[in-house]
Amino acid sequence: MKHMGGRVFGKVGAEGVYCVGVPEAGLGIAVKIEDGNSRATNAVVMEILDQLDLLQEQEKKDLASYHFPELLNARKEKIGTLRPVFSIRQTVDQ
C-alpha cells in the first residue's frame, strides 16, 4: 500500500486469503490459496494487478520481490523463485 501511494489497499486473511481494493478502478479482488499456505498470495495478487495494468513501472520494480519471491532452503540459500503462471480473463458488464 505504501509503494502505491494509497491507490490500492489490501488485507491478509486466514488460511491463504488476501483481499485487495482498488478504489479508482471500482475493483475488489479476493484471492484464496487452496492449500492455505500464504507464501503465494503476494505473488498472485501482484500478477493480477500486473495483468489488469494497475501497476506503474516504478511500482513493478519496487515490488518485484513480492511478485517473484525467492525460495530459500534452511541454510538461507536460494533454491528457486515463485512465478505465478495463470491468465485472468476480463469481462465487461453490459
Q: What's the Cα-to-Cα distance from 22 to each of 29, 36, 45, 69, rounded to whole Å?
A: 8, 24, 12, 23
Given a cut of 90, whether residue 5 has pLDDT beyond it is no
Least Cα distance to 41 among 17, 20, 72, 7 occurs for 17
User: How many Cα neighbours within 13 Å face the side chain of 17?
Assistant: 6
Q: What's the Cα-to-Cα distance from 44 to each of 10, 41, 49, 76, rounded to whole Å?
A: 13, 5, 9, 23
Q: What are the tens digits of pLDDT across the range 18-73?
A: 999 999 999 999 999 998 888 899 999 999 999 999 999 999 999 999 999 999 99
Given a cut of 60, whether residue 94 has pLDDT beyond it is no
Cα distance between residue 81 and residue 30, in whole Å: 23
Q: Domain residue spans in the chain?
A: 9-81
Cα distance between residue 9 and residue 15, in whole Å: 19
Residue 76 pLDDT grade (very low, low, confident, very high; cuts 50, 70, 90): very high
- Which is higher by pLDDT, 90 or 84? 84
**pTM for the model:** 0.85
